[in-house]
């Protein structure tokens, strides 16, 4: 068994159902004292993905109004996010090959849960007469993976703690849009995703602070520096403080989100 080779195989797999299968196989691996040999790390401008959806810039993505088709486009957009999240978790395993064993157990858990979320959403789309790939989508999530491929600390800072944490902020309002409509099943799926994502952000917080402690650097100031480097502007609220607290953002980190200028260097 080579965890790194196997996660790479899942990462580059283009077929969604096969990617899910390969990811779930990783979930069956019990990491004890051996994770196998290292595997050559490559640049990954694009992970394995099907020909559709067609990727466009953010402004070119389908408008998602409150019409029936608009609601379906919204479901598709969330399905695309979860497909990307599988790849992000797989890349976190494959790319950073000198971390403690618990790190890999944690990110295998994230990868398998993301694959479950994608499967739930894809199956629901099919029940509605659609499928993943029927609408255009954007590639913003993977662009952040490419931008942070140089350092596991940057990856932990900006993918789970920014991108996934943003999901904690917006999911309750998205759920309200589906509740009480013919798409009420989507609200139930979002409940599952929301609870799991709290755990994913918690994992990101743990490893980010572990790395900051190991390198003897301040986590809040370092986070601010990385935000400026990779995003260029302060993170936008409103923030779901309750969910972020459950995912173990510290009080100082929550204060930074609300008042970043107070922490700027």
pTM, two decimal places: 0.94
Q: Which two tokens stand for residue 215?
A: 């390198």
Residue among 237, 242, 231, 243 at smallest CA distance from 256 = 237
What are φ and ψ of residue 137, in 5° steps?
A: -145, 170
**What is the C-alpha to C-alpha distance for residues 63 and 69, in angstroms, rounded to an integer?**
10
The residues facing 55 across adjacent strands are: 137
Taking CA 55 as the corner, what is the angle to CA 68 and CA 198, rounded to the nearest 5 degrees?
A: 70
Peptide bond into 62 cis (omega under 30): no
The residues facing 137 across adjacent strands are: 55
pLDDT in tens, the chain (265 residues): 689 999 999 999 999 999 999 999 998 876 655 677 889 999 999 999 999 999 987 665 556 677 899 999 999 999 999 999 999 999 999 999 999 999 999 999 999 999 999 999 999 999 999 999 999 998 888 999 999 999 999 999 999 999 999 999 999 999 999 998 999 999 999 999 999 999 999 999 999 999 999 999 999 999 999 999 999 999 999 999 999 999 999 999 999 999 998 876 5
Q: Which two tokens stand for residue 81?
A: 């996010």
Residue among 63, 123, 116 at smallest CA distance from 86 = 116
Peptide bond into 53 cis (omega under 30): yes
**What is the C-alpha to C-alpha distance for residues 97 and 215, in angstroms, rounded to an integer?**
17
What are φ and ψ of residue 37, in 5° steps?
A: -80, 160
Residue among 85, 206, 84 at smallest CA distance from 153 = 206
Query: What structural domains and CATH numbers belong to the chain?
Result: 3-33+56-262 (1.20.1260)
Taking CA 72 as the corner, what is the angle to CA 71 and CA 75, rounded to the nearest 5 degrees?
A: 90
């Amino acid at each position: 068994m080579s965890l790194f080779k196997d996660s790479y195989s899942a990462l580059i797999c283009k077929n969604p159902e096969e990617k899910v299968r390969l990811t779930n196989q990783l979930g069956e691996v019990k990491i004890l004292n051996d994770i196998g040999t290292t595997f050559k790390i490559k640049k990954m401008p694009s992970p394995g993905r099907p020909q559709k959806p067609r990727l466009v810039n953010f402004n070119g993505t389908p408008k998602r109004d409150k019409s029936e088709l608009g609601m379906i486009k919204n479901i598709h957009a969330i399905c695309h996010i979860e497909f990307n999240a599988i790849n992000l978790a797989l890349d976190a395993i494959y790319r950073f090959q000198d971390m403690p064993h618990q790190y890999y157990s944690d990110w295998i858990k994230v990868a398998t849960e993301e694959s479950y979320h994608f499967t739930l959403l894809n199956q629901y789309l099919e029940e509605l007469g659609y499928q993943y790939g029927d609408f255009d989508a954007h590639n913003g999530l993977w662009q952040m993976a490419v931008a942070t491929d140089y350092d596991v600390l940057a990856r932990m800072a900006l993918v789970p703690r920014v991108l996934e944490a943003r999901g904690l902020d917006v999911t309750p309002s998205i759920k309200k849009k589906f509740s009480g409509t013919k798409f009420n099943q989507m609200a139930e799926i979002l409940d599952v995703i929301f609870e799991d994502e709290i755990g994913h952000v918690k994992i990101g917080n743990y490893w980010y602070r572990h790395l900051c402690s190991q390198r003897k650097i301040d986590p809040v100031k370092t986070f601010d520096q990385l935000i400026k480097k990779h995003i260029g502007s302060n993170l936008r609220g409103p923030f779901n403080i309750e969910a972020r607290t459950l995912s173990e953002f510290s009080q100082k980190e929550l204060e930074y989100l609300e008042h970043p200028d107070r922490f700027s260097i």
